[in-house]
Structure 1
Amino acid sequence: MTRRQILGFLSIVFAGLLLAIGLPFVTPSSGVAQSNTTILVSAAASLKEVLEEIKPLYQQSKSNVSINYNFGASGALQQQIEQGAPADIFISAAKKQVDALEQKGLLVAGSRTNLANNRLVLIVAQDVVGITSFYNLTDSKINKIAIGEPRSVPAGQYGEQVLKRLKLYDRVKSKLVFANNVRQVLAAVESGNAEAGLVYATDAKISNKVKVVVAADEKFHSPIVYPMAVIKNSKNISAAKDFLQFLSDSQAKTVLKKYGFIVS
C-alpha cells in the first residue's frame, strides 16, 4: 500500500468507529462555517417594547443573527460601556451619553445616527381628577412626584429642565421621588406610590393605568432624541452595522410609529 492508500483506509476505519458509537462524522464541507452571530444591544429602558417587536422582523431575513438586549437608564449603560462591559450597539434616550462615548473614542467612526424622537408628558393615575397642568403639582393633594434621577436618566434630566423653566422646581423639590429609570417612574404612578410622574409619551401609551395630563412644551427642555452607534470594542461590527441599518429602514419605522415614537 502507498502512504495515500493507508491514510484513506484509516479515514474509513475512523469514520466507521464514530458511527458505531453514535457520533456524527463531520467533513470540512458540512457548512460549519455558517456560525451564528449574537449582537448585544444596550438600550434606553423606554425602548423595551418597540425593540422586542422589531427583533423577530429582523431575524426573518437574518435567521443566523441573535439579538440580545440590555435595557436600563442611558447614563448607567454609558458607564457600563466605559468600564468595558460587552456591548455591540448603544441606543441612548439623549445625546449626552453618546456624546461622552464618542469623545472618548469608544464608537465606530461614522456609525452614529438618530433612531427617533419623543415627547415628555406629565401623567397621573386614571382615577385622579383635578390635575390639568404642571402648575397643579404644587397642590397639597400631590404628595409625591416620580421623576428619573437627572444625572443618569434622560427623562429625569428633561423633567428637571421643564420644572426649572416653569419656576416650579424649588416649590416641588420636597415632593420629588427619584427613580433609576423611566419605567420605574411609570410603575410608581401605576401603583399609587406617586400621584404624578414625568415620563415619555411612549411610556404612557403602553399603560392603561395612567393618563396624560399635558405634554411639556418642547422649548422648555433639550430635544428628546435617541442616538445610536456601534461600539468600537464590538466583535461583531459588521453585523451590528447591519442591524442599525435595519432600525433606520421603513419596516422598523412603522413599529416605532406604532408605539408613539416620532420618526422622520
Structure 2
Amino acid sequence: MKYFVYILLALSLLINAGCSNQESTEEHKLFISAASSLSNVLSKLGDEFESEHPNTTLTLNYGASGKLAQQIQQGAPVDLFLSADQKWMDNLSEQKMILENTRANFTENKLVLVSANNTNTPIDNLKGLMNTGLDQVALGNPESVPAGSYAKEVLTASGLWQDIQNKLVYAKDVRQVLTYVESGNTDIGFVYASDLKRSNMVTEVKKINKSLYGPIEYPTAVMASSDTKEKAKTFINFLQSDEAQSILAEYGFGS
C-alpha cells in the first residue's frame, strides 16, 4: 500500500512540474497600437521589455491617435492603446472599450516649430507665421492628429487660425509633418519636442508657450476585448518604471 502511495505522489509531482514548466514557457503576444510620435522610443522600450519577458512578443502598430482609436472601435484586435492625448482615450472609455482601472498617463511632451536645416526661418513670435516669406505651414490634421489639434489650439489662442488657413498643409500624422519639413515641401511645421531627437534634418525655430495649449499627456490602457489582459497590465507597469522613464527622457519625452 505504501508503495502505491509513493507512486501516486511521484506521478503528482511530475504532473505539477510539467504544468509549472508549461506556464513558464507559455508564449504571449501583445498587439499594441501607439501614437506615431512614439515610434522610435517604443521600439527601444519594446526591446527592453522583451528581453525581460522572453516569452512575450510585441507587435507594434503606429498611426495618428484618432485613426487608431477608430480602428479599435471597428474591431481591430488590440491589447493596448497608447494615445498622444486624452481625447481619444476618453472616446474609447465612453464606449466602455477600455479597462478603466488600467488607464494611466506614462509621459508628456511639448510643442515646437521646426524648419529644415540650413534654412533661414526667423520667427520672433507666432505673428511671424503670417510673413509673406513663409508660404506653407505643416501640421497634423486636427481632426485625428493630436499634434495638429494642439497646433490649432495655439493658432486659435494667438488669433491666427482664420487668417492662416491658406498657408496650412495638413498631414496624416506628426511623422508626415517631419517629412514635409525635411524635404522642403513646407517651410515650417508644428511637431513635438521629442521629434527633434527623431530627425537630424530639422532645426527648432521656436518653442511654443505652454500657456497656449493644453497639457500634452500620453495615456495608455488595456482594451476590454484583450485576451492577454494580465500581460498587457505588466507592460503598463513597465512603462511607469524608472528604467522606461529614463529611456523616454533620453528620447525627448517628459515635462
Structure-2-length-normalised TM-score: 0.89
Runs of 5+ consecutive residues of structure 1 not aligned to the other structure: 1-27
1:130 Cα deviation from its structure 2 partner: 4.1
From 63, 69, 73, the counterpart of 1:78: 69
Report the more deviating stretch, 76-85 or 131-140. Answer: 131-140
Q: Which residue of 2 aligns with 1:212?
A: 204
Q: 1-side partners of 2:218 and 2:34: how far apart?
A: 10
Query: Given the alignment of the two structures, is residue 142 of structure 1 paired with residue 134 of structure 2, yes or no?
Result: yes
Are 1:186 and 2:186 an aligned pair?
no
Instruction: Provide the C-alpha distance between the structure 2 equivalents of 1:118 and 1:109, rounded to a whole number of angstroms.
Output: 23
Structure 1 contact 186–204 (Cα < 8 Å) conserved: no
Partner-residue secondary structure (3-state), 2:59: strand
Alignment-derived partner of residue 230 in structure 1: 222
Structure showing greater radius of gyration is 1
Deviations 1:202-246 (A, max 9, x none): 012221111111111111111100010000000000000001100
How far 1:35 moved relative to its partner? 2.4
Q: Secondary structure at the match of 1:168?
A: coil
- Matched positions, count: 236
Task: Check whether the contact 1:44–1:73 (CA below 8 A) recurs between aligned residues.
Answer: yes
1:64 aligns with 2:61: no
Identity, in percent, stands at: 38
Over residues 29-68 of structure 1, what are the superposed CA-to-partner deviations in whole Å (9 max), with x where a residue is unaligned?
Answer: 4955532111011000000011100112112221000011
Residues 122, 134 of structure 1: 8 Å contact kept: no
* Kept in 1: contact 2:115–2:121 (CA 8 A): no
Decide which of 165, 174, 177 is 2:166's aligned counterpart.
Answer: 174
Equivalent position to 1:160, from 146, 152, 156? 152
Structure 2 unpaired stretches of 5+: 1-16
- Paired residue type of 2:254: I
Task: Provide the C-alpha distance between the structure 1 equivalents of 2:121 and 2:92, rounded to a whole number of angstroms.
Answer: 44
Q: Where does residue 124 of structure 1 map in the other structure?
A: 115
Contact 2:80 2:232 in 1 (8 A): yes
- Contact kept in structure 1, 2:33 and 2:62, CA below 8 Å: yes
User: RMSD value over aligned CA atoms?
Assistant: 1.4
Q: Is the 8 A contact 2:121 2:205 kept in 1?
A: no
SS in 2 for 1:198: strand
Q: 1:43, 1:91 within 8 Å by CA — same for their partners in 2? A: yes
Question: Whole-Å Cα distance in 2 between the matches of residues 231 and 38 of structure 1?
Answer: 14
Task: Determine the C-alpha separation between the residues in 1 that align with 2:117 and 2:18.
Answer: 62
- Give distance in 2, aligned partners of 1:53 and 1:151: 29
| CA distance in 1 between partners of 2:207 and 2:163 (Å) | 20
Aligned pair 1:38/2:29, yes or no?
yes
Do structure 1's residue 197 and structure 2's residue 189 form an aligned pair? yes
Does the CA-based 8 Å contact 1:88-1:231 persist in structure 2?
yes
